[in-house]
Amino acid sequence: MNESISPGLSPPSPAMEAGSASASAAIARRIDALFDRVARHWLAILLIGMGIFVTLPFLAPVAMAAGWTWLGKLIYTMYIPFCHQLPQRSWFLFGEKLTYTLDEISRVYPSTDPWRLRFFYGSPEMGWKVAWSDRMISFYGMIPVYGALYAWLRRWRGRPLPPIPLWAFIALLAPLALDGGTHWLSDLLYGVSGGGFRDTNAWLATLTGNAWPGFYAGDHFGTFNWWMRLITGVLGAWGIAFFGLPWADRLMSVEEDSSEMTEKSDH
């Protein structure tokens, strides 16, 4: 039986097929080259991205102070998924103080509801809060700093650093998990009005014989809670950086070696 050929349609010529194959090969080479560049410079790309991510929350109070409230509120809203932004646990810029107690905040914003409190951005007199809480400033902020240190050490050694042991990684994250977890439990049981066991820290005052009055209660600058959020964030960031980055380095090295082998086989 003779096969009919539709009028106006003709099978592709060998030249057309060769051109299509050549175009596909060119696209594949460009994609491979892109992945190769990413594999070679992944750390720089990551550090730039993290630098932008951790810096934007500091631009929120700058925008509010400059009168660009729409931009400031946009940044605050963008970072809601990443941080609770409770004002009594945040830093304020361009105001009288770096931190404020919940009582001081309640005088101008009378609410103890956690969801409503996060939408208190500040005032011209008090200043404007950073879109990170103090713990997130130390945790997120130190990861790119440690990342830059890792990049310098890798270049100085001439090879990637080994990851810290798993037990050390867990030990560095454990204080952050314990401090954050007990804060979460205290807030869940007692709210954020100041009566929780992590608000008063009466247990610590009892253990230390109340040796440092004024150090135990509250979240403001210089208190136990303030220091613990700062220190645990710094330790957790160290663990993330010096456990995660060396492993990522190994994975990217494997990808880079694979790309080089593929390139050699093509030639």
Q: Give 255's pLDDT tier (boundaries 50, 70, 90).
A: low
Closest C-alpha among 61, 81, 233, 225 to residue 131: 61
pLDDT at site 112: 87
Across the range 185-209, mean pLDDT stands at 93
pLDDT(28) > 80? no
Using a CB cutoff of 8 Å and minimum separation of 24, what contacts does 184-187 make? 187/114
Range with lowest mean pLDDT among 22-26, 66-70, 82-86, 238-242: 22-26
pLDDT at site 23: 63
Q: Give 30's pLDDT tier (boundaries 50, 70, 90).
A: low
Q: Which residues pair with 92 in a beta bridge?
A: 129
Strand pairing class (127-133; 122-123): antiparallel
Across the range 199-219, mean pLDDT stands at 95
Across the range 137-143, mean pLDDT stands at 95
Residue range 157-186, pLDDT digits in tens: 888 899 999 999 999 999 999 999 999 999
pLDDT at site 193: 83
pLDDT at site 24: 64
Q: Give 13's pLDDT tier (boundaries 50, 70, 90).
A: low
pLDDT(155) > 70? yes
The arrangement of strands across the sheet holding 90-93 comes to 90-93, 127-133, 122-123
Tokens 């099978």 sit on residue: 11
Residue range 122-137, pLDDT digits in tens: 999 999 999 999 999 9
Closest C-alpha among 221, 233, 227, 225 to residue 194: 225
Residue range 214-253, pLDDT digits in tens: 999 999 999 999 999 999 999 999 999 999 999 998 888 7
More confident site: 35 or 67: 67
Q: How many other C-beta atoms lie within 10 A of the C-beta of residue 193?
A: 14
pLDDT at site 226: 96
pLDDT at site 231: 97
Q: How many other C-beta atoms lie within 10 A of the C-beta of residue 49?
A: 11
Q: Give 58's pLDDT tier (boundaries 50, 70, 90).
A: very high
pTM, to two decimals: 0.80
